[in-house]
Amino acid sequence: MQRRYFLMASAVAAAHRLPAMNSPNDTVRVAVLGVNGRGRDHIAGFQKLKNVEVAVLCDPDRNVAASRAAQFEKTYGRPVRTESDLRRVFDDRSIDAVSIATPNHWHALATIWACQAGKDVYVEKPGSHNVFEGRKMVEAAAKYNRIVQHGVQLRSSPAVQEAVAKLREGVIGKVYMARAIIYRWRPSIGKKGFEPVPPYLDYNLWLGPAAERPFSRRWVHYNWHWHWDFGNGEIGNQGVHETDMCLWGLGVGLPRFITASGGKFLFDDDKETPEILTASFLYPEQNKYIEVEVRHWCTNEENGVSVGNIFYGSEGYLVIKGYNRYEVYFGAKRQPGPSRSEDGDHYANFIQAVRSRNPKDLNAPIETGHLSSALAHLGNIAYRLGRRLEFDPAQEKFVGDEEANRMLRRDYRKPFVVPEKV
């Protein structure tokens, strides 16, 4: 199957094609990869759209796939096919697009393989597990002319789009700083040892690009977020919505200098990632600054925000609350200014671009996904190394720091290798 897959990918690469839908009314057939967590929202989000069919549910945990398929049939009145191996989905020429809600360590390789197989891609945040992968995803989307959307839904909110337009217009004067606020209630995950692999789980596939290790419920399923080999901590989980908003609102890319501090202060458990993290990103050429704050457990809100962003300007500040609301406050007395709340449909935006075959129709193209994910990765690297880092945004490398540069990528377990050349 692996050989067949790569032969198919080579054929697609040689054709270098950008197939169009036969007509605006053609049904777009979507496969959802990873259906334990966010995948449930992907199923509902795509299935509700006109002329869109969720055709396959794929998960290496056969119990999860079967449970989700039963729920699907009960909700929508028809059965849905299940697969355990995502490569079989890529082999299926009847599938137009894949929606990736796997653990983070699978996002990049699944996206690249999908592009090579001629599929369009909706990929959850963070787009990548490391900086190297993000650049390879951008290259794959360009080489194979695929539509690749990053799953940060605030980009499709008309209210948040209006907020960014107002920042550009100078509603709060000169904007010099953005803060990302990620205060989420995250309990202890306890301590769990190793055990035999459950018979319903293809653990080799679940591990994918990650190093081989015995099975443990400390990471299967949701708690993989808190282990470096699979997840990226809270800054790389919820935080990528907010790092994306910071970059979008300030109109900047990757920074020149990064510092970070934090740690584990409350729970004695199996988490590797920090409960508290403050990361700072400096842009001396643009004279701008980003601060990202992660706090687990009990904490306050700031300006009514527990998850969101604050932009600071010479005349006031603008608050982004969640995914769909902004508020403006002026001067020392914080006089209320413009505000708006309105949801968007990020899945519908993706399908619109799939139909038009124009990546410019995407609200969150993979290029922005690479940058917002990379910002989180850079913060994690600075935290793990415990020192101020200098970064070259053009080369996407640290300056004079080989130890830090080694952390821009990972060692891959064959055959699950993100290639140097996509």
pLDDT, one tens digit per residue, over 155-193 is 999 999 999 999 999 999 999 999 999 999 999 999 999
Closest CA to 127 of 116, 139, 118: 139
Cα gap 386→277, rounded to integer Å? 12
Question: Does position 153 have pLDDT exceeding 50, yes or no?
Answer: yes
Question: Does position 19 have pLDDT exceeding 60, yes or no?
Answer: no
Mean pLDDT value across residues 74-96: 98
CB distance 197 to 174 below 8 Å:
no
Q: Which pLDDT value is given to residue 273?
A: 98
User: What DSSP string describes 356-392?
Assistant: HT-GGG-SSBHHHHHHHHHHHHHHHHHHHHTS-EEEE
Q: Which pLDDT value is given to residue 25?
A: 53
Cα gap 411→372, rounded to integer Å? 22
Say if pTM beats, i.e. exceeds, 0.85.
yes
Question: Does position 124 have pLDDT exceeding 90, yes or no?
Answer: yes
Q: Is 19 exposed, middle or buried (0-12, 13-18, 19+ CB in 10 A)?
A: exposed
Q: Which pLDDT value is given to residue 158?
A: 98
pLDDT tens per residue, range 306-342: 999 999 999 999 999 999 999 999 999 999 999 999 9
Mean pLDDT value across residues 21-40: 84
CB distance 126 to 107 below 8 Å:
yes
pLDDT tens per residue, range 336-383: 999 999 999 999 999 999 999 999 999 999 999 999 999 999 999 999
Q: Which pLDDT value is given to residue 416?
A: 98
Share of the chain above pLDDT 90, in %: 94
Q: Which pLDDT value is given to residue 3?
A: 45
pLDDT tens per residue, range 38-68: 999 999 999 999 999 999 999 999 999 999 9
Q: Which pLDDT value is given to residue 409?
A: 98
Q: Which pLDDT value is given to residue 146?
A: 98
Going by their DSSP bridges, the two strands 307-313 and 316-321 should be labelled as antiparallel
Question: Does position 5 have pLDDT exceeding 90, yes or no?
Answer: no
- The CATH class given to the 2-154+347-371 domain equals alpha beta
Closest CA to 287 of 309, 314, 260, 318: 314
Mean pLDDT value across residues 215-233: 97
CB distance 185 to 267 below 8 Å:
no
> For the chain, what is the mean pLDDT?
94
Domain spans, the chain = 2-154+347-371, 159-190+217-340+376-406
- Which residue is listed with tokens 């090579």? 116
Mean pLDDT value across residues 287-292: 98
Cα gap 109→40, rounded to integer Å? 21
CATH code assigned to 159-190+217-340+376-406: 3.30.360.10
Lookup: tokens for 110: 């699944």
